[in-house]
Amino acid sequence: MRLEPVLVVIAHGSRDPRHAATVHALVRRVRSLRPGLRVETGFLDFNIPSVQGVLESLAAEGVRDVVALPLLLTRAFHAKADIPAVLREAPRRLRIRQAEVLGPSPLLLAALERRLYEAGLTPADKPSTGVVLASAGSTDAEAIAVIAEIAREWRHTGWCAVRPAFASASLPRTEVAIGELRALGCERVAVAPYVLAPGFLPDRIARGAAEADVLAGVLGPAPEVARLLLRRYDGARAPLLAAVGA
């Protein structure tokens, strides 16, 4: 029986130790959901092991098939350029398929709501609560459009209003979006960070949320996020297995 492709989760990396700790917690949850699957973690920058180091180690062990999964919420520069460039430098014996980025997905909306409820809201609060969907930001127009569309979609699930905001590169900032929701007449305002792990930009989101009534935690190792990783893995592994007649 052929072994499943190894899942290599590719994280950005950060000087903030909370980032790697959160990534590892998420990967542990993924492993717990599918105990037979080998899951490795590689970082693009700042942390070890590097993506290249992980791939070289797998090749040295004799691994053949790999699914490389970008731990990213939008398809911006890292997914379009950085990660493909790293994968092109992988050992030639590896067959690698790059999985889709995580977002958008209903599972991410479910994880966002989980974090808001953990921060003190209840489903009964939705009609009177405005939400700031606060992302890291990007210079990629496609990524920004996706965030705006997620906010529009999320609004239709019962919230008073939802506004996108960005910690860098794009506008509005979190504090401005909070003011817009107040002006709309929302009784309370909550900020939902659309980020996977703590770090410099999530901290900026938190500072911008000073005037909000509720600040949710980062998505981190939410069960929905772990399930989504496996969904993206399964979507990428099927062509790999088909190519070798598994």
Q: Give pLDDT tens digits for 167-182.
A: 999 999 999 999 999 9
The predicted pLDDT at position 79 comes to: 87
Q: Calculate ∠ Cα 215-31-53, nearest 5°.
A: 95
Looking at 2-6, 139-143, 146-150, which range is the least confident one? 2-6
The predicted pLDDT at position 78 comes to: 80
64 near 78, Cβ under 8 Å? Answer: no
The predicted pLDDT at position 228 comes to: 98
Looking at 77-81, 175-179, 239-243, which range is the least confident one? 239-243
Q: Which is nearest to 27 in space by CA: 201, 234, 196?
A: 196
User: What pTM value is reported for the model?
Assistant: 0.95
Looking at 12-26, 33-47, 128-142, 231-245, which range is the least confident one? 231-245
pLDDT exceeds cutoff 90 at 246: no
The predicted pLDDT at position 3 comes to: 82
Q: How much of the chain is in helix, strand and coil states, percent to nearest 5?
A: 45, 15, 35
Looking at 55-59, 79-83, 90-94, 145-149, which range is the least confident one? 79-83
Q: Distance between CA atoms of 134 and 130, rounded to whole angstroms?
A: 12
175 near 140, Cβ under 8 Å? Answer: no
Per-residue pLDDT, averaged over 217-227, amounts to: 98
Per-residue pLDDT, averaged over 215-219, amounts to: 98
The torsion angles phi and psi of 3, rounded to 5 degrees, stand at -70, 150
User: Residue 228, class by beta-carbon neighbours within 10 Å (0-12 exposed, 13-18 middle, 19+ buried)?
Assistant: buried
pLDDT exceeds cutoff 90 at 33: yes
